[in-house]
A and B are shown apart, each in its own frame.
Chain A
Amino acid sequence: MTTAILKQPTQPTAVRKPNRSFVHGLITNKKALVGMIVMLVFIVLALLAPILFPGDPSRITAMASLEPSPEHWLGTTAKGQDVLALTVHGSRSSLFVGLTVGFASTFIGILVGLASAYFGKFIDEALSLVTNVFLLLPGLPLLVILAAFLPPGLGTVILVLIVTGWAGSARVLRSQALSIRSKDFVAAAVVSGERAGRIMFREILPNMASIVMGTLLACVIYGIGAQAGLEFLGLGDVSTVSWGNNLFWAGNEGALLTGSWWVFVPSGVCIALVAFALALINYAVDEVTNPRLRKIKAPKITERSAAK
């Protein structure tokens, strides 16, 4: 590989390099690696849940409020359900909702943010108005209000979370796109007569890749957290098994007051682990794409320059 570069230090390899070094940087970054491993474990668990714990996880299998034992690794709830089965099955709904909400709201955010920044003037005003109106409708109160009018269900939860979630990413992406819009290379592209779509998606968007990635991760974290919060308030779809519903039932059955911490802890820790893993990846993306945030490794740089 190195010999090839030495022989032919030409343009094509130089052009492709940033892309490869991003992935390479992400894989060699410790934070990203830990984050991705944790995420992988949860995704595998979610996929294997029906095999690991066949049958309905919320059926009653044992005595009520049993402490963790070899038979029930995480004990049982006040109803006598196996907490481990509930937790593993819960990951399915939580990850599904989180990812769906994350991708959908980031996508809307990109469209709105780019159009806003590129066209400016009236379109920017109109889109910003819509964005701000949605931004002002503060998430949880709006969720609560909508839950009061809409029939409860997983579809409602996803829809409502997207409605309340996209505006934040649109605002962040717009301000970033706005600063790139004022750069000289964009002005050059406009002058050279490139189409609007091309400038937005080929000139501006690639330059804000790290922010888009960060926004996506933040949106997924938001989706998982907001779903849990909504369900904890008893406004989700109570019939599904998810981490938020597990906590809702734990609170409803007074798990903490009777001291059965094992009912309360697992689902909360799972949400935290997923959110933390995503935050780690986000952090790593920042570090890889923004050289200023990287750790300063003075000795290594001198070593390498000495070797050259």
Chain B
Amino acid sequence: MRFILRRLGFYLIAFWASITLNFLLPRFMPGDPVSRMFARTQGKMQPEQIDALRKLLGVDDRPIWEQYIDYLHNIVTGNMGISISRFPTPVTEVISSQIGWTLLLGGTALVIAAVVGNLLGILAAWRRGGVIDSALPPVLVFIGSFPYFWLAMGALYLFGVVLGWFPIRHAFTDGLEPAFTWEFIGDVGAHLVLPALTIVLVSIGGWMLGMRNTMIATNSEDYITMAEAKGLRPGRIMLRYAARNAMLPSVTSFGMGLGFVVGGALLTEVVFAYPGVGYQLLNAVQGLDYPLMQGLFLTITAAVLLANFLVDILYVRLDPRVRSN
């Protein structure tokens, strides 16, 4: 319990640090974002927009600590300002309408990649020099070497444009009403296949090799020899004795992966025009929508922190050494 509380305090400090960074970033960057933005929209901005923007970017004339307290207050009360490109929608509303798609895409890809990758790693380590162990890693590492967006565009071109098997953009067909009907769910599934598959393809090698290498280390432990001597079934030794003790690094990777799901799928979302937070972030940058940019960035940061905290709790359950320390 003490451990958990300590970690919680730690994450709160980390969150405070990232808020502060977010606050300082626009204030210490060269150039004046407001005038850049004003020039771009060619004076079409409404006075309220300019006012909101000045406040957010600290171009107002109040002392900086007063602005800072104001900023902290706004974040705590969940007020992230008004989106410029989608004026007058609040930033929080824009984000909440899109984070679901990111979680769906990233979560699906992460779970599939982690489960399949770890299983392959277990099998590869268990049968050293077998087909899985010798043929698969080089292939997966080679695939993983390609720039992700390059593979995604290749897949989009091949399966979407040339063969026409899968839809090439967005999360569901235009004009279809989001509802819990089989038709809509099936449509969402069809749109999910290509983006998720490309992420899995690229990331599965890392899972497999990580698991394989840790498990090779556990395989030579005395308790494995002991289990073999007892005459336990090989399957039981493999999963309950060797793999179970080799899982810990994978749990850490999963926690980090969970955090990156929110922000890391940016390239996927851009290539497939998938309406998640990453795609929105690039749009916000291109549209110079600073409030939305900052809101998205804070959301991603919060998600990473939360994921890490959850992994810490899980770690206490899994590893007794953490509890005693």
Contact = CB atoms under 8 A, between A and B. Distances in A.
B282 A144 contact: yes
Contacts of A244: 147
Q: From DSSP, what is the main secondary structure of chain A's interface residues?
A: helix
Contacts of A133: 14, 17-18, 21
Nearest to B17: A133
Q: From DSSP, what is the main secondary structure of chain B's interface residues?
A: helix
B285 interface: yes
Contacts of B297: 137, 141-142, 145
Contact of A138 (B30, B145, B263): B263
Nearest to A132: B14
Contacts of A247: 147, 149-150
A140 B264 contact: yes
Contacts of B148: 225, 229
A36 interface: no
Contact of B128 (A149, A151, A273, A296): A296
B161 interface: yes
B260 interface: yes
B293 interface: yes
Given A141-B266, A144-B281, A129 B10 contact: yes
Interface stretch (B86-94, B213-221, B224-232): B213-221
Given A144-B282, A268-B146, A138 B25 contact: no
Interface in B259-310: 259-260, 262-264, 266-267, 270, 278, 281-282, 285, 288, 290, 293, 296-297, 300-301, 304-305, 308
Interface stretch (A107-115, A200-208, A275-283, A299-307): A275-283
Interface in B161-205: 161
Nearest to B284: A148
A133 B293 CA distance: 18
A75 B256 CA distance: 42
A142 B216 CA distance: 36
A-B pairs, 7 with minimum CB distance:
A138-B263, A275-B145, A149-B29, A268-B150, A276-B145, A136-B304, A272-B146
30 contacts: A125-B10, A132-B308, A136-B18, A137-B18, A137-B301, A138-B259, A138-B263, A138-B300, A139-B263, A140-B264, A141-B263, A141-B266, A141-B278, A141-B296, A141-B300, A145-B293, A149-B30, A150-B30, A229-B147, A233-B270, A233-B282, A247-B150, A264-B153, A268-B154, A271-B145, A271-B147, A272-B150, A290-B213, A292-B216, A292-B217
Given A133-B14, A136-B308, 13 more contacts: A132-B14, A139-B263, A140-B263, A144-B285, A149-B29, A150-B29, A228-B149, A232-B147, A247-B150, A268-B147, A276-B141, A276-B145, A280-B141
